[in-house]
Amino acid sequence: MKTLNKILLLSIAATFATGCVDDACRTYSSATSKTHICAYDMDGDGKADEKRYIETNYSGNRIFSKKVDRDNDGNIDEEFKYIRLESATETIHKVDQDDDGTIDFIEISHFNEDGNRTVTEIDMDGDNVPDLMKIYDENSQLKSVLKKDSMAEGWKKVLDSDELYSL
């Protein structure tokens, strides 16, 4: 679990390290969390092109949410959530790929108490129904990929570990 936490924290630190203008960053605190909002000028024209919203817990050591408005239009184009459950962790990654204001890609990964990925569900059209499922072994190695089979109303194996590692 410590490795997963460290990777997520390094990713967020990199987000703050580049492009944020000091006077364009604000921090808002409550009793349980902090929210950092930064505006980024990506093309150097003096206008904000992107906004990033990052929430941490009150001690600042665990990430809850990172949201990005890539074109500063007020719509969230990408969101990443880290949720620590009692004995496991879940990450949720949502993306608006075509900039129409609607999320059209969702990836949810589940990790066990040791921090190993167990399952990843992928919704490729934003309807909140997984289209692909990746199953991992106890060491987070990809074991198989399943695809939603609408004809059979179930799952169809697309790839298993033997096929994957023989490529």
What pLDDT digit, counting tens, does each position of 9-67 carry? Answer: 444 444 444 444 445 788 888 877 788 888 888 888 888 888 888 887 755 445 578 89
Three-class secondary structure of residue 6 per DSSP: helix
Full-model pTM: 0.71
What is the tally of structural domains in the chain? 2
Name the token pair of 122. Answer: 């992928």
For residue 102, give its domain range.
85-167
Give the end of a domain, one of 20, 46, 78. Answer: 78
Is the distance from CB of 159 to CB of 147 less than 8 angstroms? no
Radius of gyration, alpha carbons of the chain: 18
Going 137 to 142 to 147 to 148, the CA torsion angle's sign is positive
Those residues whose C-beta lies under 8 Å from the C-beta of residue 136, and which sit 6 or more positions away, are 116, 117, 118, 119, 120, 142, 143
44 with 64, same domain: the answer is: yes
